[in-house]
Chains A and B, each alone.
Chain A
Amino acid sequence: MKPIFRGGLPRFSFILLIIITLGIVIADLQGNAMRPIRSAMLVVLTPVQWLVDIPSNFADDISAVLVERTELVKDNNQLRSSSIILERKVQQMMVLRAENIRLRELLNASASVDDKVLLAELIGINPDPFQHQVILDKGSEDGVYIGQPVLDAGGIMGQVVEVSLYTNRTMLVTDSRHALPIEVVRNGMRAIALGKGNHAELDITHIPDNADIRVGDLLISSALGGRFPYGYPLARVAFVERDPSRKFMIVKAKPLARLNNSRYVLMVEKKPSVVDANPGDETELLDSKELTNE
């Protein structure tokens, strides 16, 4: 028989652990000091994230095998017709692009470059109902960086907030901490779209009472935040109310991306406009080298 109650209560280690953890929480909330530790821990836990995804992956495979022939034929026809429509649009696009580049040259404006994209698969969602986040299967190994825009076939989905070696965490545009500078396509009016923790709704804030915005307007990213490239569709205005007792209009929009059920997403590679590396560090390094040489 072992002594079951040896040692009694670990009061001291309990208090010590709580104090250490409080320090860690504060460090994590204050700055980026904990980022490398987080991503290292996520690398260790990546197998758990993969394991969680196995059942739904498996179910997908099964339903792919058991699908009916008529349905496949229907799907095939649908895809073919949509591909023809898209091809026609691409043909037009090429002409328009050539024309656009010529005009830009005439204006001496900088040429717009095609964005490089990376296809990623969704392997998990954040179980916390307060946070609209998804986990994607591309990490810093694949060149993913914090702040990278994520799109699906419909439009903008969100941006990367945490990167580990093989996975990343993407915050959706509907997260209550997310804000995105946008532009109304019809007239170029600028605004900001705020997430509000609801998958089907975005708040467009601070629209003056006399502004020209209507239900059905398409909202695109305006690239003013420096994170998202210009011109990707975000949402369509779904609700407009002019209330004379308020300073601003109430405008709500519905995201175009299928935030709840997209499995494959695109990660746009846009070189960050702000230089991350601190030039001061480099000169310091050189100085110390010179010193050692002397």
Chain B
Amino acid sequence: MSKSSSGGILIILGTFIVALMLSQIPLPTFLEWWRPEFVALFVIYWILALPQRFGVGSAWILGFMLDSLKGSPLGINAIALTIIAFITLLLHKRMRMYPLWQQAFVVFILIVINQLIFYWFQAFTGTTAGNFNFLLPAVVSAVLWPWVFVVLRSIRRTFKIS
């Protein structure tokens, strides 16, 4: 049991490195606003799947990694991810019961919160948009959620992470 759980940590870390990479991959200009928030999606999944092992602290550390990769003021993503991790922990018993499309709706709201916090803080540094484009990633993330869920679940089952 202990062996599989220590191996599991490496797999979870691997999925997060993939998420960080996906959040960095260059997109063509017309898709720039449509980038899904992969790190947030993966955080939500792992909290739903393993709430006893994965929680607010891990989300916090990931937020810092995302901050230093994105070059945003240090801590913005950390705050946003910590908050959505906390809300997910709050809701996870309920969310596990939902069908995938309904989960996707909750994910949409979570990512909206994430984006709002991120851009609210970024407004302090003087870069804001006059429109609601920054909510587009929430839409894309919600649409992607079923696929993310299925892929990560199959990874979790293949490696028997629990």
Interface residue ranges, A against B (CB under 8 Å): 2-6, 9-10, 13-14, 17-18, 21-22, 24-25, 28-29, 34, 37-38, 41-42, 45, 48-49, 51-52, 55-56, 124-131, 133, 161-162, 169, 176-177, 197, 199, 260
Most buried by B among A25, A176, A177: A25
Q: Cβ of A21 and Cβ of B75 under 8 Å apart?
A: yes
Q: Cβ of A41 and Cβ of B64 under 8 Å apart?
A: yes
Which residues does chain B contribute within 8 Å of A21, judged by CB atoms? 60, 63, 75, 78-79, 82
**Residues of chain B at interface, number, CB under 8 A:** 48
In the complex, what's the smallest C-beta–C-beta distance from A171 to chain B, in angstroms?
9
Q: Cβ of A133 and Cβ of B24 under 8 Å apart?
A: no
- B71 interfacial contact with A, CB 8 Å: yes
Q: How far apart are the CA atoms of A51 and B133 in the complex, in Å?
A: 29
Q: B21 touches which one: A34, A51, A126 (CB < 8 A)?
A: A51
A-B contact pairs, 29 of them (CB 8 A): A2-B52, A4-B52, A6-B52, A9-B89, A14-B86, A17-B56, A21-B75, A21-B78, A25-B74, A25-B79, A28-B74, A28-B75, A38-B74, A41-B64, A41-B68, A42-B68, A45-B20, A48-B20, A51-B17, A52-B26, A55-B25, A127-B27, A128-B71, A128-B72, A130-B122, A176-B126, A176-B127, A197-B127, A260-B29
Residues A48 and B70 in contact in the complex (CB < 8 Å), given A2-B52, A14-B56, A14-B82: no
- For B34, the closest partner residue in chain A by CB is A129
Q: Cβ of B90 and Cβ of A9 under 8 Å apart?
A: yes
In the complex, what's the smallest C-beta–C-beta distance from B8 to chain A, in angstroms?
13
Q: Ordered nearest first, which 9 A-B pairs have the shortest CB separation?
A: A25-B75, A41-B68, A24-B75, A28-B74, A129-B32, A130-B127, A21-B75, A52-B24, A21-B79
Which residues does chain B contribute within 8 Å of A6, judged by CB atoms? 52
Q: A45 touches which one: B29, B60, B65 (CB < 8 A)?
A: B65
Q: Cβ of A169 and Cβ of B86 under 8 Å apart?
A: no
Q: How far apart are the CA atoms of A177 and B122 in the complex, in Å?
A: 13
Q: Cβ of A125 and Cβ of B79 under 8 Å apart?
A: no
Which residues does chain B contribute within 8 Å of A131, judged by CB atoms? 70-72, 127
Q: How far apart are the CA atoms of A22 and B79 in the complex, in Å?
A: 8
Residues A127 and B127 in contact in the complex (CB < 8 Å), given A10-B55, A17-B56, A48-B21: no
- B107 interfacial contact with A, CB 8 Å: no
Q: Cβ of A56 and Cβ of B26 under 8 Å apart?
A: yes
- Give residues of chain B (22-53) contacting chain A, Cβ–Cβ below 8 Å: 23-27, 29, 32-33, 35, 51-52
Q: How far apart are the CA atoms of A51 and B25 in the complex, in Å?
A: 10
- B7 interfacial contact with A, CB 8 Å: no
Q: How far apart are the CA atoms of A29 and B71 in the complex, in Å?
A: 12
Which residues does chain B contribute within 8 Å of A260, judged by CB atoms? 29
Which residues does chain A contribute within 8 Å of B51, judged by CB atoms? 4-5
Q: How far apart are the CA atoms of A161 and B72 in the complex, in Å?
A: 12
Most buried by B among A4, A14, A45: A14
Which residues does chain B contribute within 8 Å of A52, judged by CB atoms? 21, 24-26
In the complex, what's the smallest C-beta–C-beta distance from A117 to chain B, in angstroms?
24
Residues A18 and B71 in contact in the complex (CB < 8 Å), given A48-B17, A127-B27, A177-B127: no
- B129 interfacial contact with A, CB 8 Å: yes
- For B66, the closest partner residue in chain A by CB is A45
Which residues does chain B contribute within 8 Å of A25, judged by CB atoms? 73-76, 79, 121
Which residues does chain B contribute within 8 Å of A29, judged by CB atoms? 73, 124-125
Q: A127 touches which one: B23, B63, B73 (CB < 8 A)?
A: B23
Q: Cβ of B56 and Cβ of A10 under 8 Å apart?
A: yes
In the complex, what's the smallest C-beta–C-beta distance from A178 to chain B, in angstroms?
11
